[in-house]
A = this chain, B = another copy of it.
Amino acid sequence: MDLHAYCQEIARRAKEASRRLAAASGAVRNRWLELALAQLRQQSQQILAANQRDLEQAGQFGLTPAQIDRLRLTPSRWDGILEGLRQVRALPDPVGQVIEGHVRPNGLEIRKVRVPLGVLLFIYESRPNVTADAAALAIKSGNAIILRGGKEAAASNQAIVEALRTALAQAGLPEDALQLVATPDRAAVGELLKLNQFIDLVIPRGGESLIRTVAAQATMPVLKHYLGNCHVYVDRAADLDMALKILLNAKCQRPGVCNAAESLLVHADVAETFLRKAEGPLRQHGVEIRGCPRTCDRIAWAKPATDADFAAEFLDLILSVKVVADLDEAIAHINRYGSGHTDAIVTRDLSAARRFTAEVDSAAVMVNASTRFHDGFEFGLGAEIGISTDKFHARGPCGLLELTTYKYVVYGDGQIRT
């Protein structure tokens, strides 16, 4: 197979399909979601059989048990796929929304109107339930999408995509609005990343090295989600009971996710009291502490933290801890070591809260709440395709709105410029 020609053809067809999709009404796009639900239900046996084939071959790819588990379409994950489609269907249609509008003195009517981006390339790893989510968000927002899943999930993804494409044809929409890159050849991604005349945005979802590689090769914009090195800062004026509750939730409720806390900062004035209070519960939760010298003085079993520990996203029951002299040091530390994802302050002091939220340069800053709330569903924004740590164009949860851009639509009656 001529890989270049193959990728070019996929991308060209996606662009063509995106033109037709952009002209389709929201009712038709929602109708597709209904038909897609029906097709998935109807083809569930074939899809689960395909998933079984992937699982049988998983050994030969050297997958870990955790990776094999992520690959499995359990009954609850299957229900999750269907529920995800229902939720996306229920979200308001972003396309055509008038962001702002006004009439100029010369009578020109200016409107800034939300429109689809065009063609998305979504690169992800082995969870087949993500396939349907991504397709639903893309097509609901009027975009064509090219999916590049992991080879371990090839059969599952193929079966899901076939069902969703059948539904596209039934809805009168172009099937090429949803395409799966079928070749296992890794060079296909490199080829696709060259095609900025067809592809408007790349969304890599996976480990940091995948994202860095994609960002380095891409000729089009990339929606990046790097590390989540999230902080909880316990201010001098904190309610220390609340601070402990928030810390334990942020660190321990689900340590393997990006909005879990990785680092605790404590104001020097309350460090003694707070660390004495937190030491036992953290130990009970099995948390390893890597602390600054002052932390290690107070907690006998803490290990000394290196500079790298303060920059790390552990995704595990490990917490870096630093005693800071004041709010300024806390803010400077977060802006230096943090990843711009989610950072929280616990305080009763309004002025400290205002300064923290203004000066910490992160996608989400929380006052008296757990970092774990930073997520599209918890923010009430609906399903998301990822959480961006970029500033440009989307920051934080990326759902339907973030998969759109805008254009200016201007109506006149013969105005010319003088």
Residues of A participating in the B interface, judged by any CB pair closer than 8 Å: 19, 22-23, 102, 104, 108, 110, 115, 117-118, 200-201, 221, 239, 242, 245-246, 248-250, 253, 335, 353, 355, 357-359, 361-370, 372-374, 378-380, 390-396, 405-418
Contacts and interface: CB of A to CB of B under 8 A. Distances in A.
A283 to B, nearest CB: 19
Contacts of A409: 357, 364-365, 367
Contact of A417 (B253, B391, B392): B253
Contacts of A253: 416-418
Kindly name the residue among A19, A372, A391 whose own CB sees the greatest number of chain B CB atoms within 10 A. A391
Nearest to A369: B412
B364 A408 contact: yes
Contacts of A396: 407-408
Contacts of A366: 410-412
Nearest to A370: B416
A414 B337 CA distance: 25
25 contacts: A22-B358, A102-B380, A108-B373, A110-B380, A115-B361, A117-B391, A242-B413, A245-B416, A246-B414, A361-B407, A363-B408, A364-B409, A364-B410, A366-B412, A367-B409, A368-B412, A368-B414, A369-B414, A369-B416, A370-B417, A372-B417, A374-B408, A379-B410, A391-B405, A393-B405
A368 B407 contact: no
Nearest to A340: B407
Nearest to A353: B411
- The number of times this chain is found in the oligomer is 2
A361 B409 CA distance: 11
Contacts of A201: 392
A342 to B, nearest CB: 9
A104 B201 CA distance: 31
A67 B395 CA distance: 41
Interface SS of A by simple majority: mixed
Nearest to A200: B391
A412 B243 CA distance: 12
Q: Which of A19, A373, A374, A379 has the most CB of B within 10 A?
A: A373
Contacts of A380: 102, 104, 110
A226 to B, nearest CB: 11
Given A19-B335, A242-B414, A359-B22, A407 B369 contact: no
A15 B397 CA distance: 25
Contacts of A108: 369, 373, 378
Per CB-CB distance, the 4 closest pairs between chain A and chain B, nearest first, are: A393-B393, A369-B412, A249-B416, A372-B417
B19 A359 contact: yes
Contact of A363 (B394, B407, B416): B407
Nearest to A412: B369
